[in-house]
A and B are shown apart, each in its own frame.
Chain A
Amino acid sequence: MNTILTQEPEFAESDVFRGLKQYDRKANVYVRQLLFYPYYFFEFELSAKSLLKLSGKIACTIDGISGKEAIIDMKPAFSTCFNETADKLSVQVEEMEARKIAERFVFQTISQKTKFISIPSLKISDCSLFYRPFWLAEYILKEKGKQQLIVDAISGSYHPL
């Protein structure tokens, strides 16, 4: 049976409920379901010449639907689960395309944020497709009606739909 890589949610349903409720006690909050959003993870070995040596690892994610890039802070911990869930958004960016986007993005970020003399060399050291959990929630205010939002189950940050 096929399996997929996911991240374990750090924010449980009750955490999301409490977190959203804190802004307005009168609001009714319903945490509806967990959705899995696809990302590609790319890790690179970086080495560049500057007066001081610049080397280490840098990694990014590529949004599997829109191709948007993001630099990540630390090595993610993945777990496997069965590829059966209906709440999984389907990937729309091919892996090769994602790889190209990742290379360009990391290169540009390095050239913008670090100072180096030579052109840095980048080697992919890890690559995988994974699914990040997002809670789908409903926020209901009596006088204003219903508003849906997503809550990142890893970082706890949220955004209305």
Chain B
Amino acid sequence: MNLDGIIFVIYLATLLGIGLWFSRKSSQSTELYLLGGRSLGPAVTAMTMQTTSMSGYMFMGAPALAFQYGWYALWYAIGDAGGSIINLSVLGKRMRRMSELLGALSPIEYLEKRFESSAVRIVGSIIAIVFLFAYVFAQFIAAGKAMSTLTGFSYEASLIIGVSVIIIYTVAGGYLAVAYTSFVQGIIMVAGVVGIGALAYFHVGGLTGLNTALEQTDPTYLSIWGKDLAFYGQWGVVLGAILIFSIVYMGLPHVVVRHMSMQSTKTVKGAILISALWNQFFIFVPYILGLIGIIVLPNIGDPEMVITELAYTLFPGFFAAILLSAIMSAVMSTADSILMQAGTILSRDVYQRFINKKASMKNTVLVSRLCILSGGIAGIIVAIYQPPSIFGLVIFAVGTLGNCFLVPYLASVYSKKANHIGCLCAMIGGAATNILWTSMNFEAVTGLDAFLAGLLVSVLGMAVGSRFGRKPSQPIIDIFEQAKSNRYFSKKFEQNIARNLAPEAKNIAQFLGDEKESLRNSH
């Protein structure tokens, strides 16, 4: 093992030490409950959220895309950055209102209640699991590459060692330990990425210097159509690139755990704000680093290693190794939490609800762990024997998810006639089209992006499917009309509405309605 490998081992040992310290501390408290979140301040909570979103795609996929296609890659970043804004301003308003009226706490629960069908939840959950696994595979490949650079071992051996080491580290944790180690890692990564970004930016003479150098290398790097004008005039592909990340937020399979505070607190709200601001910043940096890579590292063998190679070029080896260690464990910690989510969705939303309603808690956990284990093994096999590009995997995963959920969400608030058959046709048709389009490479023949093709089929599925089966019930139509009416409150007021109080609000409204009714009857 080389020096960088030893640094990695020391790094992990330090993290383990931090974990041990906070685990002991956490079990001593008698007033604060585990998982309650109060013991972590806004800064730690925000950094934990940030490290979860720092994935293999950010460190390897995005820069590789920019390295390959030039400024065209920024279409994806624009969609990513604008996604939350589109969500909040266009679709969000009506959906939020309807969600409040339905008393739904998560997106999938919202769809189930709006379309009055538990089949919607099963299909949504299964497609979500496929998405999560594809995303995890991308993390595994990223981890294998990072580990290989650190240790000097072969990619295959590094992958197995990397996955094993990090799973041991995460299993060792406990909640507080993981939160605080994420905090330490987050600081290293933020400092590292900002450091690399700043050094590389000035190294190439700022944006002007970068563009001049790119033009000298190949003017088409500056084109919005991609290097060699690969996508010239293909608006379908460009539109797909913008849309794909902008809608993914809606389809993400949130496993919501409701929290209730026993005293006034602002921790979570503050954390979300800090995290959202950072996210906007970090969306663009990896792509710019990919562009810088074209100039600084023209002969790099694997474009997915642009950030790593830039770290070794611009920093002393010691710091570069620490940064790479942090990237490596963050990537694996993301993979680990996604696997955990997939396991929970399968065991809770599919197995316990529909297969074995009387399943014991041990059985449920067993199903969840088996799901994680098989996903992990399949991931290692795919990553070793047929490693696709990280970018390709992430786009496939995000695209499938978007094709499954976008049309049902839109139809839920814009079409009164949309029913459960339409929703199922849209979900299955959209996701299946994306999978087929990608695996058969129909994009090359048709010039139509897989995501856009899936979207068209999904719209068709919703329109045709909604003509069959039972119509939406009267209460759902009433809620639909109510959600359509102009919003009452100001924007700022709305932003601060506590969505997790939706069930209480629904029940209190019912209570007041009943009281009014009985008063009327008594008169």
B175 contacts A by Cβ under 8 Å: yes
A68 contacts B by Cβ under 8 Å: yes
Residue contact B511 to A157, C-beta cutoff 8 Å: no
A2 contacts B by Cβ under 8 Å: no
Q: Given A52-B23, A68-B258, A154-B264, A115 and B171 touching (CB < 8 A)?
A: yes
Contact residue among B105, B257, B260 (Cβ-Cβ distance under 8 Å from A61): B260
Residue contact A46 to B34, C-beta cutoff 8 Å: yes
Residue contact B26 to A71, C-beta cutoff 8 Å: no
**Residues in A neighbouring B493, C-beta threshold 8 A:** 23-24
**Residues in A neighbouring B38, C-beta threshold 8 A:** 73-74
Contact residue among B260, B336, B341, B498 (Cβ-Cβ distance under 8 Å from A71): B260
**Residues in B neighbouring A154, C-beta threshold 8 A:** 261-264
Is the contact region of chain B dominated by helix, strand, or loop, or is it mixed? helix
Q: Given A68-B258, A141-B488, A115 and B172 touching (CB < 8 A)?
A: yes
Q: Given A50-B174, A72-B261, A23 and B490 touching (CB < 8 A)?
A: yes
- Complex interface: stretch among B127-135, B227-235, B361-369: B361-369
Residue contact A73 to B489, C-beta cutoff 8 Å: no
A17 contacts B by Cβ under 8 Å: no
Interface residues in A104-143 by Cβ distance below 8 A to B read 104, 107-117, 119, 134, 136, 139, 141
Residue contact B501 to A52, C-beta cutoff 8 Å: no
Q: Given A46-B34, A115-B178, A160 and B258 touching (CB < 8 A)?
A: no
Residue contact A72 to B260, C-beta cutoff 8 Å: yes
In angstroms, Cα B502 to Cα A65, docked, is 13
Residue contact B170 to A23, C-beta cutoff 8 Å: no
In angstroms, Cα B489 to Cα A119, docked, is 47
Residue contact B500 to A70, C-beta cutoff 8 Å: yes
Q: Chain A CB within 10 Å — which of B23, B260, B368, B505 has the most?
A: B260
In angstroms, Cα B29 to Cα A158, docked, is 30
Q: Given A52-B177, A68-B105, A115-B171, A156 and B264 touching (CB < 8 A)?
A: yes
Report the minimum CB–CB distance from B483 to chain A (whole Å): 12
In angstroms, Cα B154 to Cα A28, docked, is 70
A58 contacts B by Cβ under 8 Å: yes
Report the minimum CB–CB distance from B327 to chain A (whole Å): 20
In angstroms, Cα B511 to Cα A161, docked, is 11
Residue contact B35 to A71, C-beta cutoff 8 Å: yes
B19 contacts A by Cβ under 8 Å: yes
A66 contacts B by Cβ under 8 Å: yes
Residue contact A111 to B368, C-beta cutoff 8 Å: yes
Q: Chain A CB within 10 Å — which of B19, B174, B257 has the most?
A: B174
In angstroms, Cα B493 to Cα A150, docked, is 13
Encoded as 1 (CB less than 8 Å from any A CB) or 0, chain B from 15 to 38 comes to: 000011001101101111111111
Contact residue among B31, B362, B504 (Cβ-Cβ distance under 8 Å from A75): B31
Q: Chain A CB within 10 Å — which of B19, B33, B178 has the most?
A: B33
In angstroms, Cα B497 to Cα A113, docked, is 26
Q: Given A116-B171, A119-B362, A58 and B34 touching (CB < 8 A)?
A: yes
Encoded as 1 (CB less than 8 Å from any A CB) or 0, chain B from 480 to 507 comes to: 0000001011101100111111111111
Residue contact A11 to B488, C-beta cutoff 8 Å: no
Residue contact B340 to A112, C-beta cutoff 8 Å: yes
Report the minimum CB–CB distance from A99 to chain B (whole Å): 13
Residue contact B171 to A50, C-beta cutoff 8 Å: yes
In angstroms, Cα B27 to Cα A53, docked, is 9
Residue contact B505 to A159, C-beta cutoff 8 Å: yes
Contact residue among B35, B347, B497 (Cβ-Cβ distance under 8 Å from A58): B35
Interface residues in B239-277 by Cβ distance below 8 A to A read 255, 257-265
Encoded as 1 (CB less than 8 Å from any B CB) or 0, chain A from 47 to 78 comes to: 00011111111110101011011111111110
In angstroms, Cα B25 to Cα A55, docked, is 11
Contact residue among A56, A149, A156 (Cβ-Cβ distance under 8 Å from B26): A56
Q: Chain B CB within 10 Å — which of A43, A75, A114, A147 has the most?
A: A114
In angstroms, Cα B255 to Cα A74, docked, is 22
**Residue in chain B with minimal CB distance to A76:** B262
Residue contact A50 to B172, C-beta cutoff 8 Å: yes
Q: Given A54-B23, A73-B37, A109-B35, A66 and B344 touching (CB < 8 A)?
A: no
B290 contacts A by Cβ under 8 Å: no
A-B contact pairs, 14 of them (CB 8 A): A23-B492, A37-B507, A50-B174, A65-B503, A71-B258, A72-B259, A77-B262, A108-B348, A113-B35, A134-B508, A154-B264, A158-B497, A158-B501, A159-B502
Closest 4 CB pairs of A and B: A73-B36, A157-B498, A51-B172, A159-B501
B residues whose Cβ falls under 8 Å from a Cβ of A: 19-20, 23-24, 26-27, 29-38, 100, 103, 105, 168, 170-175, 177-178, 255, 257-265, 336, 340-341, 343-344, 347-348, 361-362, 364-365, 368, 486, 488-490, 492-493, 496-509, 511-512
